[in-house]
Amino acid sequence: MIELIGVSKKYGRKTVLRNLSLTVEKGHITCLIGINGAGKSTLLKAIMGLTPISGGEIRIDGRPIDRNLYERVAFVPDTLAMPPSMSVAGSLRFMADYYRSWNPARASKLMDFFRLNPSDRISSLSKGNAAKLNLLLGLSLDTDYLLMDEPFSGIDLFNREQIASVFTSDLIEDRGVLLTTHEIADIEHLIDKAVLLDRGEVRRAFWCDEIRLNEGKSVIDVMREVYQA
Amino acid sequence: MNGYLKLTLFELNRFWKIYAALIGVTLISQAGGFVYHLRNYMNSVHRQMAVRGFRNYSEYREAFRGGDSFHSFVSFAEPWFSGPVVLCAAAMMVYVLFIWYRDWLGKNTFIYRLLMLPTERLNLFWAKLTAIMAFVLGLIAFQIVLLPVHLWLFRQIIPPELGISENIFDFVRNHRLLQILIPSTFPEFLVSYGIGLTSVTVAFACVLIERSFRLKGVFGAILYAAACGTALLAPNFSDRLYPLEAFWLRLGIGVVLLAVSIALSWLLLKRKITV
């Protein structure tokens, strides 16, 4: 379980995360929802040790963040984090070189599924293909947790469907997934838990099935209640 | 292979095209400029011989007992010789900063991946530092290798009968750039390359200060660089020190700055760096 306990983050005088606590459980898809500037990306970066926190504590399976974290938690940022001059095959080799948790068979399967050309240069990839490669690099690590920052941002309908299909596949099963998205309508049926963020605070966190069964509301209904109240 | 070696090889690979271009420019400029001036010289020798009716080079040599040497020929071709050396030095100075910033700049922010590698983050620092030092030493080594090549070209074009001095060591000792780049004693090597290594680590620390604290970091980096520069130059301003004392003091300050910059970089990479 990923645990955030009273996490705060400030950029100068601006508070981006305010005493924020939440958990991400294995085997579930948790979605961070919030408008731009709500602190979603900062939260993911803080979990990955890519930005220091000003207060609180982050634990992965009860342990604080260390370099071994990167073999247990994969992060798919909102940009493809590979040099533009590298080829698609080169980026796979790079990952295989550094990560013990790299699963080449899964990478190869995903290359076929996403129809990516190994010889293409990263700089020449379309936005959709760059997003697919980005996802492939994260999914091909045998990690317990997967964090994704806006995996559907700026992607056309068909590519979005292809990426969304990954969430119902065995590629995600048993992992704890934490993702941020603006396109909640596309994946509402896929997520298990929603966390609504506003100005760095958790306004509401709930299990989607429970809210549907007990209150007959969709995630979007709850968002309306929270953000338009 | 451990993370440090993998990252070092990766950094070396990333720059090889520009590096090969620098080496190519150095070779073409120095050898080309040198050959051009040697040929011009020989043309003027032949003209003089024709005008004065000399039958061989020995007669020419008797008539024009000049002080020409290998060194003076390179001096004629100075812009072609020193130009690429200055270009390589400038390229390396820029790359000391760009080796970090290239990972942050552009559409694909590679620093995300580098900071998420399952290896000590300080290995990034060591790999980049090793790559810079390897590039610098490689360029110097190439320059040293080029000197016999120039001497060979010289011997191909200038007939020995002209009796021009071929002393390459005099040339290295007297050339204002080469005497810095190719020190003749071990203490000079320690000072030249020690200052170079310390300067690179200070520059790396400055980049990491800026990347960690952004706008505030710019001021912090300028202050840190100024403080390190002042400390390194301080022994030069004291006239109470003997040369040997100044040498040891400079070496000591260099070692302290090196250690402080490495420790600071380690701390920033581990605790403060922000993507």
Query: What is the rounded CA–CA span in Å between residue A22 and residue A34?
Result: 15
pLDDT at residue B224 in the model: 97
* Residue B66 confidence class, pLDDT cut points 50, 70, 90: low
Interchain CB contacts (distance < 8 Å): A and B: 62
Q: Do residues B209 and B190 both lie within one domain?
A: yes
To the nearest whole angstrom, how far is the Cα of A205 from the nearest Cα of chain B? 27
Report pTM.
Answer: 0.91
Residues in chain B within 8 Å Cβ distance of A75: 112, 116
- Counting the structural domains of chain A, the total is 1
- State whether ipTM is beyond 0.90: yes
Of B182, B212, B236, the residue at which a domain comes to its end is B182
Percent helix, strand, coil in chain A, to 5, is 35, 30, 35
Q: Do residues B135 and B261 both lie within one domain?
A: no
Of B164, B182, B200, the residue at which a domain comes to its end is B182
pLDDT at residue B178 in the model: 83
pLDDT at residue A41 in the model: 93
Listed residue (A48, A58, A72, A61) closest to A148, CA to CA: A48
**A138 in B contact zone (CB under 8 Å):** no
Q: Contact B118/A51, CB-based, under 8 Å? A: no
Residues in chain B within 8 Å Cβ distance of A79: 107-109, 112
Q: What is the pLDDT of residues B167-197, one digit of tens each?
A: 777 777 777 788 888 888 888 888 888 889 9
**Is 90 exceeded by the pLDDT of residue A170?**
no
Q: What is the pLDDT of residues A188-221, one digit of tens each?
A: 888 999 999 998 999 999 999 999 999 999 999 9
Domain that holds residue B67: 1-182
Domain that holds residue A102: 2-227
Per-residue pLDDT averaged across B121-134, rounded?
Answer: 97
Residues in chain B within 8 Å Cβ distance of A80: 108
Q: Do residues B79 and B142 both lie within one domain?
A: yes
CATH code where residue A106 lies: 3.40.50.300
pLDDT at residue B69 in the model: 72
**Is 90 exceeded by the pLDDT of residue B27?**
yes
Residues in chain A within 8 Å Cβ distance of B117: 70, 98-99
Q: Do residues B30 and B49 both lie within one domain?
A: yes
Listed residue (A212, A190, A198) closest to A31, CA to CA: A190
**A45 in B contact zone (CB under 8 Å):** yes
Q: Do residues B171 and B250 both lie within one domain?
A: no
Nearest CA in chain A to B211: A51
pLDDT at residue B162 in the model: 80
**Lowest mean pLDDT across A156-165, A214-223, B131-140, B228-237:** A156-165
3-state secondary structure of A199: coil
* Residue B1 confidence class, pLDDT cut points 50, 70, 90: low
Q: Do residues B164 and B216 both lie within one domain?
A: no
Q: What is the pLDDT of residues A93-138, one digit of tens each?
A: 999 999 999 999 999 999 999 999 999 999 999 988 999 999 999 9
Q: What is the pLDDT of residues A36-56, one digit of tens each?
A: 888 999 999 999 999 999 999
Q: Which residue has the tokens 């065995």?
A: A170
Q: Do residues B224 and B109 both lie within one domain?
A: no
Q: Do residues B196 and B156 both lie within one domain?
A: no
Per-residue pLDDT averaged across B23-46, rounded?
Answer: 92
Of B143, B160, B182, the residue at which a domain comes to its end is B182
Partnered with residue A204 across adjacent β-strands are: A196
To the nearest whole angstrom, how far is the Cα of A23 from the nearest Cα of chain B? 21
Q: Are B139 and B88 in contact (CB under 8 A)?
A: yes
Query: What is the rounded CA–CA span in Å between residue A191 and residue A209?
Result: 9
Q: Do residues B167 and B219 both lie within one domain?
A: no
Q: Do residues B174 and B258 both lie within one domain?
A: no
* Residue B12 confidence class, pLDDT cut points 50, 70, 90: very high
Q: Contact A82/B107, CB-based, under 8 Å? A: no
pLDDT at residue B245 in the model: 86
Q: Contact B118/A122, CB-based, under 8 Å? A: no
* Residue A22 confidence class, pLDDT cut points 50, 70, 90: very high
Q: Do residues B86 and B165 both lie within one domain?
A: yes
Q: Which of A79, A94, A99 sits opposite B108 (nearest CB)?
A: A79
Q: Which of A68, A83, A123 sits opposite B110 (nearest CB)?
A: A83
- Counting the structural domains of chain B, the total is 2
Residues in chain A within 8 Å Cβ distance of B273: 50, 52
Q: Do residues B85 and B64 both lie within one domain?
A: yes
pLDDT at residue B67 in the model: 58
pLDDT at residue A59 in the model: 95
pLDDT at residue A57 in the model: 95
- The percentage of chain B sitting over the pLDDT mark of 90, rounded to a whole number, equals 54
* Residue B65 confidence class, pLDDT cut points 50, 70, 90: low
